[in-house]
Chain A
Amino acid sequence: MTTQETNTRIAKRFFECFDAQDLDGALALLADDAQFRVPGKPSESPSAGPYDKKRLRRLFERILQNIPDGVRMTFKSVIAEGDLVALEMEGLGKLSNGRVYNNEYVILFVIRDALIREVREYNDTLHAYNVWHAA
């Protein structure tokens, strides 16, 4: 297996674990000093900004507390080169307040030595705000 194939597998595995609500499994794929960036301006959206591993666990726990059946993550395409992997994905989940979260993403990974070093998420932030934060 090439490095690119290994990295693609790790990137996909991260979201397969999240989909299965296996946070330990997902977070084990991250380097201890990994950074995960949620899109948006922190002044506009409370969840936007950089997360270290510890804060990311809390964010994922909050998401899953509000979406008890979990978020189904569907891969649409994978583009990889060297230590970079981009996943095009769709996420679908129903919040306990009845709202439906159905977002689309590109997630960029930097993966070295079989560990995720950096994750940058791009998604429809207006939809995320309206579902998670709007009154």
Chain B
Amino acid sequence: MPLSANAQLVTHIFNEVAAGRADAWIEALHDDAEYRTIGAGSWSGTFRGKANIINDIFRPLRKRLASRHTEATRIIDGGDVVVVQARGKNLTHSGVAYDNDYVFVIGFKDGKMHRYEEYCDTELIANVLGDRMATWRPAEKAP
């Protein structure tokens, strides 16, 4: 059975991300996207809007990580919803491995990723990444 358009998009995005080209992921994110990481820690919660997602999650993450690699290991094509099983291999600036396992549940709107739910090892996040706000500064906020 051929892949749905959404699963084709996700497959393309994660091929690009695995090759170190994160722009494809950003490009495919809807301007009004909601990104939610499970849990109650400082990296958890719902982040609304592409600019806020980049500013509030990915900028602090870049400050924490010296090298990043995420690879999809399995994609489940549910048509309207696509599930990605993925493995991260990352290193913090202080040399600590941050190798998390993920499931992303992705919903779509206008051909872009709109609902993005991240299920991952939140205890590892707390132990290795620490407090997200410790690396976030208001001056970084996108215009």
Total interface residues on A, using CB and 8 Å?
Answer: 25
Contacts A44-B124, A79-B81; A106 near B39 (Cβ below 8 A): no
Q: Which 4 A-B pairs have the closest CB atoms?
A: A79-B78, A122-B119, A126-B122, A125-B123
Complex CA–CA separation, A23 to B47 (angstroms): 39
Contact surface of B with A, Cβ cutoff 8 Å: 38-41, 44, 74, 76-78, 81-83, 85, 101-103, 105, 117, 119-127
Contacts A124-B39, A125-B121; A44 near B127 (Cβ below 8 A): yes
Instruction: Name A's interface SS.
Output: strand
Does A77 have its Cβ within 8 Å of any Cβ on chain B?
yes
Contact surface of A with B, Cβ cutoff 8 Å: 39-41, 44-45, 77, 79-81, 84, 86, 88, 104-106, 108, 120, 122-129
Is A106 touching B122 in the complex (CB atoms < 8 A)? Answer: no
Which of B38, B105, B120, B123 is close to A79, meaning CB atoms less than 8 Å apart?
A: B105
Is A122 touching B120 in the complex (CB atoms < 8 A)? Answer: yes
**Nearest chain B residue, comparing its CB with the CB of A124:** B39
25 intermolecular pairs with C-beta atoms under 8 Å apart: A40-B124, A41-B121, A44-B123, A44-B127, A77-B81, A77-B105, A79-B78, A79-B81, A79-B83, A79-B105, A81-B78, A88-B117, A108-B76, A108-B85, A108-B103, A122-B101, A122-B103, A124-B39, A125-B122, A125-B124, A126-B39, A126-B41, A127-B122, A128-B123, A129-B123
